[in-house]
């Protein structure tokens, strides 16, 4: 194993693939997989997501008669992800500073391709390998949510999509997102403020009654956006808010979601007013969406134990961890395929400071090789 993977990784991140615009990069990876002897196909997920290509699904037959092992990475990057210009500094690969780097998740893709190349070059027999390169992961796990699971043969595998090498993520939370719209009553703020119902005040008082941030060891909540009002001299008629809750406990997720919605509804009732004998009551409209269900895999599961064993063999700090965000693994796992998440070495993702050490690209590749070799025994 040598540093050639750095050049390969650099070539991949220079192919633009922001969410919903992954086609050019998908076609590149299709050719790479075909060179490895894989059967390659696409599903029609993009017809539901609005992108320009579907999920890429590949199958390498292998030489050992065992059930296939799945590896999953995502093709897309966040913005700004166009015209990426990688630079190497002190043994790390960075972007030029105007864009993200794309190590999330092209480091996983590069390491996987190089691992399979190594096995073939060294004539090492391996079990069948299945590959899913998903689309639109970064904008709501849309590729995995719309994946044609009838095309997938594997029942276990790994998502290569987090940072710490040697760490196996065995839990990740469920997430609810919510939109709330408060409709009050407009009035002139100077002449007749008594005849108005401020949607902004209802929102602010509702927010102040609730706890936000880390609610307990398993649960977080956040208001992400708030918009309301059209002018300083008008009592704000409408205010909209968006937010999310995440929890490793489904009962807690439901309870805290209900608490937020009911607090807004009950607070709005307190702002009802009577004008000239007519009752005006503010209204609260809301929508709650289940973005994904929790990932929860036992540390005794074979995919966890082989991941840890392979990491230890390489001298990596092998451990299981609990993640705070969702990934394709959540969706795939909840579609009947055992999945955990492995680190690739990526750092400072979703920022223009994103980077990855070249040594981590090399070690991440070795980790994948060891996992495949363990499964192939």
Active site residues: 76, 137
Compute CA 201 distance to the chain's CA centroid, rounded to the nearest angstrom.
Answer: 34
The rounded distance, in Å, linking the Cα atoms of 326 and 336 is 17
The rounded distance, in Å, linking the Cα atoms of 309 and 376 is 14
Residue position matching structure tokens 């108005």: 196
Strand partners, 225: 242
The two three-digit tokens of residue 75, written as one number: 């093709």
The two three-digit tokens of residue 256, written as one number: 């805290």
Residue position matching structure tokens 């027999």: 125
**Largest pairwise CA distance in the chain:** 88
Measure the CA angle with vertex 231, ends 227 and 233; round to 5°.
135
The rounded distance, in Å, linking the Cα atoms of 273 and 177 is 31
The two three-digit tokens of residue 149, written as one number: 């699971």
């Amino acid at each position: 194993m040598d540093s050639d993977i750095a050049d390969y990784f650099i070539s991949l991140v220079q192919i633009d693939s922001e969410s919903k615009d992954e086609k050019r990069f998908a076609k590149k990876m299709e050719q790479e997989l075909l060179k490895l002897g894989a059967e390659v196909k696409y599903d029609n997920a993009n017809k539901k997501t609005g992108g320009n290509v579907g999920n890429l699904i590949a199958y390498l037959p292998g030489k050992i008669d065992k059930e296939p092992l799945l590896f999953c990475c995502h093709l897309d990057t966040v913005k700004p992800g166009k015209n990426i210009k990688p630079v190497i500094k002190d043994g790390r690969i960075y972007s030029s500073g105007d864009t993200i780097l794309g190590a999330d998740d092209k480091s996983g893709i590069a390491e996987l391709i190089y691992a399979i190349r190594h096995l073939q070059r060294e004539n090492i027999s391996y079990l069948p390998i299945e590959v899913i390169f998903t689309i639109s992961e970064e904008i709501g796990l849309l590729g995995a949510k719309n994946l044609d699971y009838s095309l997938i043969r594997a029942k276990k595998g790994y998502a290569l999509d987090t940072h710490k090498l040697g760490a196996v993520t065995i839990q990740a939370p469920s997430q609810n997102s919510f939109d709330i719209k408060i409709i009050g009553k407009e009035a002139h703020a100077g002449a007749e403020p008594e005849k108005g119902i401020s949607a902004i005040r209802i929102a602010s008082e509702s927010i102040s009654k609730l706890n936000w941030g880390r609610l307990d060891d398993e649960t977080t909540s956040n208001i992400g956006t708030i918009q309301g009002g059209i002018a300083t001299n008008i009592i704000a008629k409408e205010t909209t808010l968006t937010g999310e809750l995440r929890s490793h406990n489904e009962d807690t997720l439901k309870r805290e979601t209900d608490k937020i919605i009911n607090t807004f509804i009950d607070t709005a009732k307190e702002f009802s007013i009577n004008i000239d004998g007519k009752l005006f009551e503010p209204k609260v409209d809301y929508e709650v969406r289940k973005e994904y269900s929790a990932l929860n895999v036992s540390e005794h599961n074979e995919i966890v134990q082989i991941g840890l064993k392979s990491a230890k063999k390489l001298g990596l700090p092998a451990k299981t961890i609990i993640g705070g965000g969702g990934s394709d693994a959540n969706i795939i796992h909840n579609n009947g395929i055992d999945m955990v998440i492995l680190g690739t070495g990526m750092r400072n993702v979703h920022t223009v400071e994103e980077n990855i050490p070249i040594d981590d690209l090399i070690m991440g590749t070795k980790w994948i090789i060891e996992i495949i070799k363990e499964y192939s025994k």
